[in-house]
Amino acid sequence: MKLFTFTTLLIFLFSLFDGLTVYAQTEEEKKKAYLEEIIQLQERPTSHDDFVSYHDETWLDWVERTGALPPDFGAVPSIPLLPDPLIMDEGGENMPIETLSQWQEQRKWIKQQVKQIFSGTFPEPPETLTAHVLEEREEDGVKIEMIELRFGEDERARLRLELFTPPGEGPFPVFMTQWNHRGWAQIAVRRGYMGLVYAGADARDDTRDYLALYPDYDWSTLMTRAWGAHRAVDYLYTLDHVDRSKIAITGHSRNGKQSLFAAAFDDRITAVITSSGGTGGEFPYRYTDDRHSNESIDFLVSRRTHWLHPRIRFYLGREHKMPIDQNSLMALIAPNALMLSSSIREGGGGDAWAVEHMYRSLEGIYDFLGHPERLGIRFRDGGHGAESRDIESYMDWLDVQFGRTTTIPWENKLYYDYSFEHWKELSGESVDPQNFAAISPGRSLLAGDNGVRIRNVSGWESKKDSIREKINWVMGEEPPGISASPIRGLSNRQDYVNSFLSRPQVSNGRVRHIAPYNALGDYLYADMYYPTDENGEMMTGENGKLPVVIYLHKYSNTGYDSQSDTGLSSLFEDILSRGMAVLAMDLIGYGQRIEDGTYFYQRHPHWSKLGKMVSDTQAAIDALETLEFVESEKIFLTGYSLGGTVSLFTAAIDDRVAGTAVASAFTPLRGVSEDVEGVKAYSHLYGLLPRLGFFAGMEERLPVDFPEIISSIAPRPLFVIAPELDRHADNERVKESMEKVRSVYELYRAGEEFRFDTPYNINIFSGWQRESIVEWLDKLQQ
């Protein structure tokens, strides 16, 4: 590696890690290991099709050629939640936009930022454009033309179109899409639209040549294709039988991404539908790191190196430092019509929760511009591909937007329709934080309520009872219920939804199911993975029993899904190889239980989703205790992100949990940095613990915080992994809280039962973390 490139990369990495201190040689070793990992990612071999830009084969080539440096992340403000397009920066102060002239200034600024981070720069429209009809024929009254557009210097740039004009005089609305979506245009033609497909897709891409023809611009592949779409609109504007007020563009997957670029930079496109565009499409970048199931920046740019501008890589792990997000790009489309569409259970790229947050963040700008009806959202079920029924629905929406005669009603149906304000209306609850004692973030856990230091286990046990009461208050009022009947055995029955979810598969064991009639909690499904011998028979210990690890998944729309979490199958195999079984289930609002969560607060306004998750986890323990082959004294919990949080809450109130291992599961809430979501993550963002929302801005009066919750697990074994570069956590506060937890374990003389690791990494459930958890669990079950 050349010195300049290596030095530049070092500057990037250590600016990424601003504010961190090296405590010991082990910290230096962690940094070195992480640096090597990043360098390996950026230097991955590329084919000709995987170039980063016209001038550069790899990202490091681009860094060396341009001398590009990352932002000064220490000076750049953090925006943990989605940036509001209607808030503009005025001399370092946030100012709400109140006039159209202010919005026009904001649009210019957003466009500059989009070019800087997402799309790259691109040329002005060509001064001249000529059209050549290469072929013309008629089919069932529809005129079909193959057209080649020529433009640019010596007309060296070209774009081929296939145009379908229905019978009649027009003017016709237009349905534009890319070459590989010709079938979509066929449906549009039957609905009375002029169809146009252009060669700006993998199947046929004339826009690739633009990079060489316009070498002074640093545009990405998706932007060149979008610019090609603009040239198609140029041609449409020359046709008298085109209704210029009704020009729509759509595309699926990567073509959905480019359609957004096209509509954002060309107001002549009056409607756009992005279909399963994923990251760079319907998803905000802030919700694409490893704790969600969407394509992260590192995943996307290491596999599709040229789709987006190379500069976006600087924001890996620091997505909250972006001055804009994907909703900012979409705001440029307003007030033209925009619909977001995806699958609710699309593995690895169909997170309905993230799409809905994008939709909600855009309502303000459409309201401000006086056209809320032009913003739409549509979900389907199943995998990544769109079917004819989906395209017909897209046409229904376009008919509504274009004022065409239709008797088909349109509904923007949501699956995560939650807000803290709406919950307050549903529940009628009101909490005055002033009625709760203020607790300093630095206060010792061993400080008693009477101010006297706790010096023995009995004193702590008394305080723990109080902490558990507070935990239960925060989780809400669980409705009275009855226990499930004992499990009669494992089953082969599955929910039909599993047919399009990629559940983990193991080569060293078998998976059987706990089906509703077999009784797990309130009519729930779960999967039991257990080790088998060469004859396929269950392998147990000498006592004829198996320890069981309950695995709780992350913020994944597909639940415990191996497509969204590619390391899950190997994790389960590793656990089985140590002579333990795994029980996995979807938490409410995820996987096969997405619909269960939609009206949860209408049904249970005084409970909480996290409370339900904990209750279901306890029900899983109940069920396991009824199985003869389960060693009920060795039931463990593990999880990353959301699953880790649920594991901590469950273990804190249920002494049956024999050991708990979590990763990236929390940040303390009292005194937390403004750089992270903090308490609003639970009350406003994910709707897990609504009651915490009353304490936003007054976190010191929270009745309970994670240090107390986690300490309630003592003296049972606990393993906490908290990456130092986790942007969702205040790392210094995490370290301080873990020292407090350690003091409680030492009070029990059980310091060896508590392990705390801080790998030098971003929020990611790495292979090292998984291996460490399995090794730790293996020692426990010996």
3-state secondary structure 98-132: CCHHHHHHHHHHHHHHHHHHHHCCCCCCCCCEEEE
Residue 324 and residue 88 in contact, taking contact as beta carbons nearer than 8 Å: no
* Mean pLDDT within 97-112: 97
Token pair recorded at residue 390: 């989906």
Query: What pLDDT does residue 499 have?
Result: 80
Token pair recorded at residue 39: 């360098």
Query: What pLDDT does residue 26 have?
Result: 55
pLDDT, tens digit (0-9, with 9 covering 90-100), for 190-205: 999 999 999 999 999 9
- Residues with Cβ within 8 Å of 321's Cβ and at least 6 positions away in sequence, in order, are 71, 73, 76, 77, 78, 79, 315
Decide if pLDDT at 186 tops 50: yes
* Mean pLDDT within 593-614: 97
- Residues with Cβ within 8 Å of 46's Cβ and at least 6 positions away in sequence, in order, are 52, 57, 58, 305
pLDDT, tens digit (0-9, with 9 covering 90-100), for 430-457: 999 999 999 999 999 999 877 789 999 9
Helix%, strand%, coil% for the chain, nearest 5? 40, 20, 40
* Mean pLDDT within 705-724: 98
Binning pLDDT at 50, 70 and 90, where does residue 38 land?
low
Q: Which of 216, 229, 199, 228 is nearest to 121 (CA)?
A: 216
Q: Which of 685, 780, 691, 675 is nearest to 734 (CA)?
A: 675
Strand ranges inside 366-525, DSSP E? 375-380, 509-514
pLDDT, tens digit (0-9, with 9 covering 90-100), for 291-346: 998 888 888 887 788 899 999 999 999 999 999 999 999 999 999 999 999 999 98
Token pair recorded at residue 184: 């979509």
Decide if pLDDT at 86 tops 70: yes
Distance CA 763, CA 311 (A): 20
Decide if pLDDT at 14 tops 60: no
Query: What pLDDT does residue 45 have?
Result: 40
pTM over 0.85: yes
